[in-house]
Each structure stands twice: as structure tokens, then as C-alpha cells.
A and B are shown apart, each in its own frame.
Chain A
């Protein structure tokens, strides 16, 4: 499951049409050595191409260095993701470099975990300490007892070291706490995942359906740019959201759905489309499997049936279903990205996939295109040791369709229970686990079972506060990283390279990973001298060179067909080789072969469902201290419907606290009374209310949704944690 490698599209090799050079001057002398880039201060303005890391979209950028100092960063016009324009986080990313609260030197804990008391040590001392502890864990429990939580491209080399050490327990919360259900739902249906960047052809869609997906507040750059293009072209936009999002304000139809009832709406839409024969009949006949059973099953789900569940008038359900059909196959029902909501999320994602299948949009212009990635040979390493045990996260394949990526919550559980085998060491890279996993207390409980917790971070994050060893990393503006060869409309390859020197004793991830490996006796896994040699070797394998990439930043491959209609032979990597309207795989594993709706638990009287989402200027809980982004949004606010606010006597702008049904009380948060949300839920932006005392600018600013998410419904199909299942009420003592 979930492996893009099975895709059979023609992969291209190095022969390319190059992008034009961005740097004109002689910048070469600047890049000697990996750590010091601007030793000699160069007068004037230097433009250095790189790619952004403020989120995981990896937009191509050009940094401006003025008289040796980082000035600003802009999009690289040659980059297919940014098309010359960064999102606000990318533009404000320069302040990551200037963040006065950055970690400066390695730290070893000297008091209790979580007390945030450390001694500053040298890199040698810190790495020796970690290596010694890791070897002890290996001796006592085996190498698999060391786990790595890693998010983003910067974790590439730490993953390599951990695999060489003998563990496959490597995970990112971006699967089971984010896009996992979507990938599983689409793979079960079409035999392939959506991937990142999403293969959604937004700019060519004639009808765009967004279900909870708040593009414009969620700033994944290319998608937002294409969304704006769609708005300008007059694309018919249908937004389904309990909150009147920015996207809703651009929509032709806004459906203010009752939270948790999306599957009912999706079933009713499909009911109308099938009953009125509005689907792409040729496409379904040709590529569909089990359509008859599917059609029989959904015939019961009329708009009248869905109305009391969803609160959406039957006529509006019919009108919007017909609207979608009008524009098929250029009707894109967006699969969303953060999809871990209620615990039945794989089935909701499957329903979305099936609706797209009815529209015939998979593989079609304005729907889902077929992406390409730039083929660059991997660096040849000796084989990793064979692990003795299976990964720890999903014992006995309890979640049968969770293959391909590991469950972060599964590793946490094993750390608590010691079963199926103990996990005694965590290394954490670029993921703030107390904020990114549900139920903070469980995370802390797991941490207390560890013999070693290493956190590699840029700032003293909340999770760093719990670490035994904190390793300060340089920012993306100060280092090389692995190449970006993500799948997209057109294959491309982009380079991240250092733009300025790190201000202190921070080190790049590749250096940390290599140094650690050498201390663990794993030096044979690092045959290269430094990352420049590594990158150059890989690039030469693709007929390119590091020098070329350093100048251009990005190289694109040829334009190739991306739609079935352009001559691509449709292939579906499902057991039937077709689009599975009826899933035998699911039926055999004891799940519903066609999605079913189950009414979600409702808030007790006086309580409201807690919903959370994104703001354009922050990424998760990692950017709140970056000065330029901090000043745009210093804390989050609580969205409450004006009538509810009136009823409870909440004044706009006053601080309150929230209490959930488990009695957990949040930090104080400002009331934002608004007409832009339903009366049965409240909303806040994720990532605030952080508890790291070292991070003064964000310490207890706003409230943390993660703290209030003490409950989660686990998706039985793939182990995702549905987190929109917590209810809160208001507390006035602040």
C-alpha cells in the first residue's frame, strides 16, 4: 500500500531542458565548505536560489543577501511549485534565521524531564552521550528499540543512520494524524494515492468541491495560486464546512454542514447522481468494478434521508449534485489533506474518491492528473541490517490497510506498553510531538518510559523541553538538504543550499546524522565526505551537477501527457485492476465494501465540538516565534457564533478558558464572536498555547487544541486518529 513506486508512468532521466540561470555574478567562491558560506562579506546584492522549508510544500525560492546579510526571499520564477511567488510563511521565513530565541548549542538535561534545565555541552560530548545510550539500548533490547519521529526532507540522513543502526521504527505524524486516511481511501479505490503536492488539477477544474478544506487559510502555495485562478475563471465552487471559511466566501454554493456528517452528504450526492444517471457512464462502464452492488447499496441514501443528519436541505443537495454533474469530468471533489477527523475517515475519503469516480475525474483534465517525478539514482549504500522484528506500530496488522507508512501513535503505544517489544529510545526531528499527536498526557507517559529522548530542533520547542539531549540545527537557509524530486505536473528537481551562515554553534542534519553514525561504528554507511559530494554524485547520475543546480536552483523535465485523454493508458493498481466501487479487499477484512454513514456522538448540553485548522501565516506549532510571522499572528482566537456568545455572555476580545469533557482546562484564549461559524461547534487555529518556557514569545500565547484533544477515534482500517471528537465548554476564571 501507499507506495508511489508502483506507478508505471514513464519516468524521465536526466536529459532535460534547463531553466535559465538565476545568478549572474560569480557566486561560486561563496560555497566552499558546507558550513561557512559568507566568510568574506560580499558587497552588494547576491541572489541565491534554494527551496523553502517553512512548510513541506518545498517551494523554489531566491534568497537575497545584501552586503553579506540575509535580506529577503522571493519565489523562483522557474520553479513549478512557487511560480515566482512564495506564501506568507515562505516570505516571512527569513526571520527563522534571525529568530532571537533559536537554540544555540547542544544541551544535556540536568534535572527532571520537562523541567527544561540543561547544561550546554560541545557537539562531541552530546554525540558521544547519544551514541553510548543508543548502544546500551541496542545491547539490552535490540536496535529496533530505537525509534525515529521525523517530518520533512531534513530527516533523510537521520533515517539513514537509524536504518543502518538496525531499526525500521521510523514514523511521521503526517500519516496517522493527517493525510493517511485520504491516501488509504484513494488507494483502495483507484489503486494509487493522492500524494504531496496533491495531484489535483485545480486550475483546470470547472467545478471545485471543497469539503472542510480551507484553501486560502491553508496556504499550500501552488494549490492556493490555482484556487485563485479558478475563482477568476468563474469555476463553480461548492464549499462544505461548518465554518464560513475564506474559501466559502468565494463559493457559488456554501453548505453549512453539521460537523461529522460528511459521509451522509456524500452518499446522498451519489444517490442523486446515480439515480438521475448523471455520472460519466462510459468511464464507469469501462473502468468501474462492482458498480451494480454500489448502486444498489446507495439507493437508500436519499437527500431526504441525509437532511436531518447534515442539516443540508434536500433541494440544495440535489442542486449541487447536478451542478457537479454539469461540469464532469472537470469536476474536482478535493480529497483534502488533514483528514483525521472522526475515525471513519478512510471511508469518508473513499466516498470522496467514489464521487470523483462517478464524475470520471481521475486521470482527466480538471480532475486528478497523473504526476511525474524526476528520476535521480539513489546513492549506493551497503545494505541495511535485516531487522529481526516487524515494525512495532501495528502488531498483528490490527489496522490491515496501514501498510507503507508507520503509525506514530502506534509507536507511542508500544513505548507505553512495551508490547510487542519495548521502545526505549526516541529521536525526534522537526515534529513537535506534544502538539502533533493527540492526547498530550499519553505522549508524556511514553516519554517517561524512555532511556533516551533526543530532539533535533531549531528552537526550544515544547518537545525539546522533554528531551535528554537537545541538538540545535541550522535553519533551511543555512544548509544543504536532500534534493526535492516530488511528483508534479511536470518532473523537476530542486536544490536547497545554504544562503547565509548559521549565527551560532548549530549544525546541519546531515552532519549530525553522519557524526552519530561514525560514533556508532556505522561509518561504512557514510562513504561520502560531505553533503556536497553526496549531492554531486546523485546529480551526476542524472546527467546534472551540483554546480549547475547551485546556479539554477531548479531544473525541470519535459512536458509530458498527464491525462488519459492525452494518450496515457489508464491503469488502476487495485486487485481488480479497476476502480473499485465495491471493495472486496475491505469486505474480506471485515469492513464495509461501500461506505456507510454512522451518526457521530453529539456534544452534551452546554458543550461544543472543538474544530481546528490553519492560518495563512503559521505552520503547525513551529513558526510562532519567527519574528515576522509572530507579529502577524501572536496568538489564536476562539471562533464562537455570535448567538452563542450572546447566550453565554461572552464578549468579543475577552479572554476565557475552555474545559473539555475530561475536565482538561486550556490556557486562556480570546473570544472571536462571529457569524462565520455554526452554533454547535467552536474553532481555533492549531499550534498555539505552547508550554515551552524557553520560547518566551509564544509561551502560553493562545490555547492549544492538542491539549484539549484527549479523545480520539481510531480508524479501524488504517489506524488514523480522528481528532474532531472532543467537546468543550467555557470557563471564565482566567
Chain B
């Protein structure tokens, strides 16, 4: 069993939004929506300021409330890599998952189903990286299998300090931010 995760180096990210735009074209995201986005957290007082820039998306949680709250089973954990996906045909657009996701990662596609980041599973299954990872001009994003101790992501988490977003929500997020 693989457990897919993303490890993003915030010390290198410049917040350029290339990851966002690449996702839009790769996945034909409808105009005005996005599956990933940039959050900039500023703290301190000028000139002693700290900045953390994060490329954010669905956390492909290990305990995903969006899946448990889904009345039809459309939201599910994929059998490859633990990726959280939505089966468009089964989705009735009831928004239960939108309400339960602490990360605001989902939206209702104009065609009526809940949509979000898929970890570009269509690429990953072909052995490619997700579009955002492969476009990033700073090479700050890494994708891989946390169950494989030799994977780049596993190694990075062993060597570097990191945090996840809203760990207190208890959903087991799988996007890690190196600091």
C-alpha cells in the first residue's frame, strides 16, 4: 500500500502561482474556480517580518470527514495511495462534504458535482508528478509515497522541520510544509 503525500519547502516557494495555473490547464478547472491556491502568512513588525508562503490544496486526509459525511459514497478513498477522490456520477451536489472539510478545499463544479484536487492521479498512475509539482519553477514541491522510507518525501520529513495545516482538526492531513 502506498500513502501519497506532498512535501512543500516554504523556504523556497516564492508564491508565484505557477502551481495554481498549471492545475487549471491540466485539469480544465472551470474559469473562476481553483483546486489549489496560495496563502501568505505575515507576522512581526516592520522591518522584522516573517513570511510563510504556502501552496495549499486538499490534504488528502487520512481520516477525511468529507468521505464520512458523504451520503452517497461518491467521496471515497482511492485504492491507490490513499488519495481522496469524488466519483462524479454518484455525487448529488449536496455540499455535505464542503461543509465538513476544515480546509475549504472543495467547490461545486458548474456541472453539479463536488470537485477538488485529485493529486493528479491520472498523471501519477502514469508515473508522472502532479502538474503543480512538475511546473514549480523553484522545485519546492515534492510528491511521493510516505510508506516508502526511501522516497524523497519520507527522507525530507526525516531531515527537516515541518508542520501541517490545522493538525488540531484531527483529519490527518498529508500535505507537509518544510520550514
A, B assembled together: yes
Residues of A within 8 A of B (CB): 71-75, 85-88, 91-92, 94, 215-217, 219, 221, 224-225, 227-229, 231-232, 244, 246, 248-250, 254, 256, 616-617, 627-629, 631-632, 641-642, 674-679
Whether A250 lies near B11 (C-beta < 8 A) is yes
Q: Which residues of A contact B158 (CB under 8 A)?
A: none
Whether A74 lies near B135 (C-beta < 8 A) is yes
Per-position 1/0 for B4-44, Cβ under 8 A of A: 00000101101111101110111000011000000000101
Q: Which residues of B contact A676 (CB under 8 A)?
A: 42, 46, 49, 51
For the side of the interface on B, what is the size category? Answer: 20 to 34
B47 at interface (Cβ–Cβ under 8 A)?
A: yes
Q: Which residues of A contact B9 (CB under 8 A)?
A: 232
| B69 CB → nearest A CB, Å | 29
Whether A72 lies near B25 (C-beta < 8 A) is yes
B77 at interface (Cβ–Cβ under 8 A)?
A: no
Whether A244 lies near B46 (C-beta < 8 A) is yes
Alpha-carbon distance between A628 and B34 when the two chains are bound, in angstroms:
11
Interface set, chain B 85-117, CB cutoff 8 A to A? none
Whether B31 lies near A627 (C-beta < 8 A) is yes
Whether B139 lies near A228 (C-beta < 8 A) is yes
Whether A71 lies near B46 (C-beta < 8 A) is no
Whether A92 lies near B14 (C-beta < 8 A) is no
Alpha-carbon distance between A676 and B47 when the two chains are bound, in angstroms:
7
Give the 3 A-B CB pairs with smallest separation, nearest first: A216-B14, A228-B138, A249-B51
Interface set, chain B 133-163, CB cutoff 8 A to A? 134-140
Q: Which residues of A contact B46 (CB under 8 A)?
A: 244, 256, 641-642, 675-679
Whether B49 lies near A249 (C-beta < 8 A) is yes
Indicate whether A249 sits within 8 Å of B16 (C-beta atoms), given known contacts A71-B25, A72-B25.
no
| B1 CB → nearest A CB, Å | 31
Q: Per a CB cutoff under 8 Å, which of B14, B25, B47 touches A224? A: B14
Whether B18 lies near A231 (C-beta < 8 A) is no
Whether A616 lies near B16 (C-beta < 8 A) is yes
Whether A228 lies near B14 (C-beta < 8 A) is yes
Alpha-carbon distance between A36 and B42 when the two chains are bound, in angstroms:
50
Alpha-carbon distance between A91 and B29 when the two chains are bound, in angstroms:
14
Interface centre among B20, B138, B140 (most CB of A within 10 A): B138
29 intermolecular pairs with C-beta atoms under 8 Å apart = A72-B25, A72-B26, A85-B135, A86-B137, A87-B16, A88-B18, A91-B25, A92-B25, A216-B16, A217-B14, A224-B14, A228-B139, A231-B11, A244-B47, A244-B49, A244-B51, A246-B51, A246-B53, A248-B49, A250-B12, A616-B17, A616-B18, A617-B21, A628-B21, A628-B24, A631-B31, A675-B42, A676-B49, A677-B46
**Which residue of B has the minimal Cβ distance to A246?**
B14
Q: Per a CB cutoff under 8 Å, which of A86, A228, A616, A632 touches B135? A: A86
Alpha-carbon distance between A91 and B26 when the two chains are bound, in angstroms:
10
Whether A675 lies near B45 (C-beta < 8 A) is yes
Whether B16 lies near A88 (C-beta < 8 A) is yes
Indicate whether A616 sits within 8 Å of B15 (C-beta atoms), given known contacts A94-B25, A675-B42.
yes
Alpha-carbon distance between A74 and B137 when the two chains are bound, in angstroms:
11
Whether B49 lies near A675 (C-beta < 8 A) is yes
Whether A628 lies near B25 (C-beta < 8 A) is yes
Q: Which residues of A contact B134 (CB under 8 A)?
A: 74, 85
Q: Which residues of A contact B139 (CB under 8 A)?
A: 85, 225, 228-229
Indicate whether A675 sits within 8 Å of B14 (C-beta atoms), given known contacts A91-B22, A224-B138, A628-B24.
no
Q: Which residues of B contact A246 (CB under 8 A)?
A: 14-15, 51, 53
Alpha-carbon distance between A229 and B18 when the two chains are bound, in angstroms:
17
Q: Which residues of B contact A74 (CB under 8 A)?
A: 134-135
Alpha-carbon distance between A228 and B8 when the two chains are bound, in angstroms:
13
Indicate whether A219 sits within 8 Å of B16 (C-beta atoms), given known contacts A91-B135, A675-B45, A676-B49.
yes
Alpha-carbon distance between A91 and B22 when the two chains are bound, in angstroms:
6
Q: Which residues of A contact B15 (CB under 8 A)?
A: 216, 246, 616
Whether A249 lies near B47 (C-beta < 8 A) is no
Q: Which residues of A contact B16 (CB under 8 A)?
A: 87-88, 216, 219, 224, 616-617
Whether B20 lies near A632 (C-beta < 8 A) is yes
Interface centre among A617, A631, A679 (most CB of B within 10 A): A631
